């Protein structure tokens, strides 16, 4: 809800935080009543830290690096994090890491310096602070090698065990199978050459198959002779159908080749006509006199 201007006289308060959650403007400035659960924002720049009242454009406290003891004009803030000392306690502070390797802890929300520590020299010398990472429980993780990480504890944590081990690889744990996208393979189209090869790649005929094809039954029974003859005719017609289909495919391929040959002849003729026209044009240009050009 937007603030409502009023002409009431302001009350003198010891804190800029209000008690009722309302605000009013008087004599060109905002007046705040104390809120039951105030919230504030922490803003960190390269040279200073500040806290603002959430919802209002009002700065509560600010602290510059130059005003902090032991800091110089060359110090730059490269990282910050709100940390909590122990789980379940109210020991919350603001941790600020400087480019020179110093770590400063500020109280919240007043931003008073409460502690200052120095990181190891090799961390600063190898510019490892550029890619560091801070956690809310007081840990700092920096790269020590292309595939190595170092972890530092910058805030006392009594619930963390000393010599904490991190398992990077466990050979007893098998990785899950990688999901493979199954693609339906399209059946390749059989060419006429493959058809011929498959027809001639069949195994040799047995005596029984040869008898069925040639309609010569080994049985002398008259009743079964007719059925064997019919079966032999069906087999022979099937084989003949295969060769007939093969012949039709070969004829179609021959027709396509002849059409392709005709197209090539037309293209050659057209290119020859174009070349002849170019030559005639060049000859006519060469025979012209200089005043005809």
Q: Quick: pLDDT tens for 272-282.
A: 788 888 888 88
- Please report, to the nearest 10 degrees, the dihedral formed by the alpha carbons of residues 243, 246, 248, 251 taken in order: -120
Q: pTM of the predicted model, to two decimals?
A: 0.45
- Mean predicted confidence (pLDDT) in 226-235: 55
Instruction: Give the whole-number percent of the chain exceeding pLDDT 70.
Output: 59
Predicted local confidence at residue 189, as pLDDT: 63
Give the bridge partners for 23, in sequence order.
32
Q: Does residue 244 or residue 223 have the better pLDDT?
A: 244
Which residues are CB-neighbours of 21 under 8 A, at least 6 positions away?
33, 35, 36
pLDDT in tens, 45-99: 999 999 988 777 788 899 998 888 888 888 899 999 998 876 656 678 999 999 8
Predicted local confidence at residue 3, as pLDDT: 38
Measuring CA to CA, which residue among 13, 51, 44 is closest to residue 31?
Answer: 13
100-109, 143-152, 204-213, 216-225: least confidently modelled range: 216-225
Residue 171 has pLDDT above 70, yes or no: yes
Q: Does residue 133 or residue 271 have the better pLDDT?
A: 133
Residue 289 has pLDDT above 50, yes or no: yes
Residue 237 has pLDDT above 50, yes or no: yes
Predicted local confidence at residue 148, as pLDDT: 82
Residue 2 has pLDDT above 70, yes or no: no
pLDDT in tens, 9-52: 333 333 343 333 344 444 555 566 666 777 888 999 999 999 98
- What's the chain's average pLDDT? 72
Phi, psi of 174 (to 5 degrees): -85, 140
């Amino acid at each position: 809800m937007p603030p409502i201007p009023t002409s009431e006289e302001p009350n003198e308060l010891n804190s800029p935080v209000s008690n009722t959650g309302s605000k009013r403007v008087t004599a060109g400035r905002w007046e705040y009543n104390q809120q039951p659960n105030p919230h504030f924002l922490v803003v960190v720049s390269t040279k200073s830290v500040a806290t603002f009242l959430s919802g209002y454009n009002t700065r509560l406290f600010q602290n510059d690096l130059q005003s902090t003891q032991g800091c110089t004009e060359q110090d730059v803030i490269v990282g910050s994090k709100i940390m909590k000392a122990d789980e379940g306690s109210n020991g919350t502070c603001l941790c600020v890491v400087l480019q020179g390797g110093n770590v400063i802890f500020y109280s919240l929300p007043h931003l008073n310096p409460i502690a200052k520590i120095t990181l190891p020299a090799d961390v600063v010398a190898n510019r490892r602070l550029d890619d560091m990472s801070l956690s809310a429980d007081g840990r700092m993780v920096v790269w020590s090698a292309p595939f190595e990480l170092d972890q530092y504890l910058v805030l006392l944590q009594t619930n963390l065990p000393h010599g904490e081990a991190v398992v990077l690889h466990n050979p007893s744990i098998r990785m899950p199978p990688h999901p493979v996208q199954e693609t339906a393979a399209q059946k390749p189209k059989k060419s006429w050459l493959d058809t011929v090869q498959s027809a001639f790649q069949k195994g040799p005929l047995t005596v029984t198959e040869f008898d069925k094809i040639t309609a010569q039954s080994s049985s002398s029974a008259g009743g079964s002779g007719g059925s064997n003859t019919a079966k032999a005719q069906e087999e022979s017609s099937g084989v003949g159908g295969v060769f007939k289909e093969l012949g039709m495919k070969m004829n179609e391929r021959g027709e396509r080749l002849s059409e392709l040959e005709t197209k090539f002849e037309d293209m050659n003729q057209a290119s020859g006509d174009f070349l002849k026209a170019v030559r005639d044009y060049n000859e006519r240009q060469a025979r012209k006199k200089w005043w005809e050009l």
